[in-house]
Amino acid sequence: MTFRGFIAADIPPTPDLGSFAADLRAASAALKVVAIHQVHLTLKFLGDIEEGLVPDVVGVIREACTGIAPMAVRVRGTGAFPSLSRMNVVWVGVDGAEPLGRIAAALEAALEPLGFPPERRPWKAHVTLARVKGRQDLDRVRRLLESHAMDEFGVHRIDSVHLKKSVLTPQGAQYSIVESVRLVSE
């Protein structure tokens, strides 16, 4: 049996982030906005994973998290990948996530022998808020992103990294935690 999986740190919703997500939802029907209670910072997208590999993947996560203490991250700024003129993904930025970048790099290296290909693009700390499903009616979205480009959406403590399952539904992806690895201070 397989499931669609990824490794992530959760970003708790804040009123400001919720308000911004609602503004995005109202700005264009071309956006598929993530449910605010499901926002997260992806460290590694796995794609289809065999359930039998879960213990090995969790072992890799534990190893990657060794020596990384809980941290505070600041959710700040807005943008789009690959650019505002050619939006595929709408994101908010994350400052102070360098330790998570070290975890992401360790995951890339250690998961490749298990059959998970490395990401072609460098890892960038961000929280995906919406995916663009069309090219029409994006001017309001661009203006919204530009007007919130420097906004702060909260400071959060990251103390766990999760292996998550993603189930695609007509209402959008539903995420659940398969297993968690706690970050510990040494």
Q: Rounded to a whole number, what is the largest CA-CA distance in the chain?
A: 51
pLDDT-based confidence at residue 65 (cuts at 50, 70, 90): very high
**pLDDT above 90 covers what percent of the chain?**
87
Average pLDDT over residues 113-117: 94
* List of long-range contacts for 15-21, beta carbons under 8 Å, 24+ apart: 16/151, 16/152, 16/153, 16/154, 17/75, 17/92, 17/129, 17/153, 17/154, 20/78, 20/92, 20/129, 20/148, 20/151, 20/153, 21/129, 21/130
The pLDDT tens digits for 157-166 are: 999 999 999 9
> What DSSP string describes 4-28?
EEEEEEE----HHHHHHHHHHHHH-
pLDDT of 74 > 70? The answer is yes
Cα–Cα distance between 60 and 108 in angstroms, integer?
10
Q: What is the pLDDT of residue 186?
A: 66
List residues with catalytic annotation: 40, 126
The pLDDT tens digits for 120-137 are: 888 999 999 999 988 778
| Global pTM value | 0.93
The pLDDT tens digits for 28-49 are: 988 999 999 999 999 999 999 9
> What DSSP string describes 117-161?
PPPSSPP--EEEEEEE--SSS-HHHHHHHHHTTT-EEEEEEE-EE
pLDDT, the chain, mean: 94
**pLDDT above 70 covers what percent of the chain?**
99
Among the residue ranges 39-48, 52-61, 96-105, 115-124, the one predicted with the least confidence is: 115-124
Q: What is the pLDDT of residue 134?
A: 81
pLDDT of 1 > 80? The answer is yes
Average pLDDT over residues 137-155: 94
**What per-residue string of b and e applies to 45-70 under the rule 16 or more CB within 10 Å gives b?**
ebeebeeebbeebbebbeebbeebee
| Encoded tokens for 129 | 């808020």
Cα–Cα distance between 48 and 67 in angstroms, integer?
29
Average pLDDT over residues 3-20: 95
